[in-house]
Amino acid sequence: ISRTNANLSSMNSKYGSAQNSQANTSGSFAPLPSPSRFQAPARQFTSTPKAFEGDQNVKPTEDGGDLEAKIMGSVRRLVQDKFVIVERSVDSLRQQITSLSADMSRVTGEVSAMGRSVNAQESMVESLRHDMNSRRGMLAKMESWVADEEAWRSSMDSKVAMIANDVKQLDGVVGKQQESISARASMA
């Protein structure tokens, strides 16, 4: 804005027409002239000022004041158009930033929720792992008990078989002794 004001002041000082300058010291512009004024020019210019070619010794023609006003109006309109475009762009960027900020807050919340969920699931997995290890330990103990019981049963089966064999032998001995006692009793 300051550069534009400096350019406008420079143009005013070149043409010596301070009354056509509508820029005030605060940097804002006075209202633009009505567009109908520029649609059909009433005068024909006999020469074109060379103010934009860098020649500072050129004096404006008699109609130079109107030309200067037209140039200033055009410059003002262009500058204001650019300001409007920039303001709209800035507003659009602000809206995008606000939207992105809201999206970022939402995503941050979702990431935090996912992190808590992951931590809870990891805790549950760790608990299940501990439970599984306990069950494996219990299963190993039970398998050990079953192996011990099978060994005891096998030992008992062999002892029972030995006792049964001993009983058979004793039955045979008892049977022989009864026969011998009966044979002696019949002889006596």
CA-to-CA dists, residue 18 to 2, 22, 51, 78, angstroms: 18, 9, 16, 20
Q: How far apart are CA 126 and CA 24, in angstroms?
A: 74
Between the alpha carbon of residue 56 and those of residues 10, 22, 76, 88, 165, the distances in Å are 11, 22, 22, 37, 142
Cα–Cα distance measured from residue 60 to residue 132, given in angstroms and rounded to the nearest whole number: 99
Can you tell me the distance from the alpha carbon of 20 to that of 3, in angstroms, rounded to the nearest whole number?
A: 18
One digit per residue, pLDDT tens: the chain, 188 residues?
777 877 777 777 766 544 444 444 444 444 444 444 444 444 444 444 444 344 444 444 455 568 888 898 899 999 999 999 999 999 999 999 999 999 999 999 999 999 999 999 999 999 999 999 999 999 999 999 999 999 999 999 999 999 999 999 988 888 888 888 888 888 76
DSSP letter, residue 34 = P
Tokens for 119, please give them: 């931590």
